[in-house]
């Protein structure tokens, strides 16, 4: 992860997603607090305000969902890149695949794992918990192992 500048990439992703959230909040607040007390419907001001309000509410609702989906997609791709970089560094992708198999052999999820720190684990710490595994920051170990074996 260090060699591939994952911290830099995730920082850029967070900034971009944060910008979407700020813009959606701005649209909502412009409509909520920015309108005048006069009736602007005769000159079209009411229509613009209504459009801004609708856009703001839609973005306000969707931006957290979009942010999470973007974060998960980028995180999964970076895990594959980290595996490939590790295979190039060690020149032994089969060994890395076997190490991932050993990690995946543990049948129980970690009881002390927290959703806020799940991205720090090598594999999904919530395996077996369907609700938490849907939003995993790591791709399935079987897929990672298959890609490493494909490099050999």
pLDDT digits (tens, 9 = 90+) for 24-58: 778 777 777 765 555 555 555 678 777 877 877 88
Which residue reads 């991932």 in tokens? Answer: 100
Percent of the chain topping pLDDT 70: 74
Query: Residues 108, 146: one domain?
Result: yes
User: Would you say residue 81 lies in a domain?
Assistant: no
Question: What is the chain's mean pLDDT, rounded?
Answer: 78
Cα angle: 11, vertex 148, 151; to 5 degrees: 110
What is the token pair recorded at 82?
Answer: 């980290």
Query: Residues 10, 62: one domain?
Result: yes
User: Would you say residue 74 lies in a domain?
Assistant: no
The span from the CA of 98 to the CA of 102, in Å, is: 6
Query: Residues 50, 99: one domain?
Result: no
How many domains are contained in the chain? Answer: 2
Query: Residues 43, 102: one domain?
Result: no
Q: What is the mean pLDDT of residues 138-147?
A: 89
Helix (H, G, I), strand (E, B) or coil at 44: coil
User: Would you say residue 77 lies in a domain?
Assistant: no
Cα–Cα distances (Å) from 44 to 26, 37, 41, 49, 89, in that order, read 21, 15, 5, 9, 63
Exposure b/e, 101-118, CB count within 10 A at least 16 = b: eeebeeeeeeeebeeeeb
Query: Residues 63, 4: one domain?
Result: yes
Q: What domain range is 98 assigned to?
A: 92-152
Q: What is the mean pLDDT of residues 71-85?
A: 88
Q: What is the mean pLDDT of residues 94-116?
A: 80
């Amino acid at each position: 992860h260090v060699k591939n500048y994952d911290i830099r990439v995730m920082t850029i992703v967070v900034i971009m997603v944060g910008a979407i959230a700020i813009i959606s909040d701005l649209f909502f607040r412009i409509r909520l607090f920015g309108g005048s007390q006069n009736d602007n419907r005769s000159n079209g001001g009411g229509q613009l305000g209504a459009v801004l309000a609708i856009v703001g509410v839609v973005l306000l609702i969707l931006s957290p969902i979009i942010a999470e989906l973007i974060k998960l997609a980028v995180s999964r791709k970076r895990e594959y890149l980290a595996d490939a970089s590790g295979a190039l560094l060690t020149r032994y992708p089969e060994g890395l695949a076997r190490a991932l198999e050993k990690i995946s052999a543990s049948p129980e999820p970690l009881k002390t794992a927290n959703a806020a720190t799940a991205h720090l684990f090598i594999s999904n710490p919530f395996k077996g918990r369907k609700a938490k595994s849907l939003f995993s920051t790591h791709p399935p170990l079987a897929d990672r192992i298959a890609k490493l074996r494909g490099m050999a």
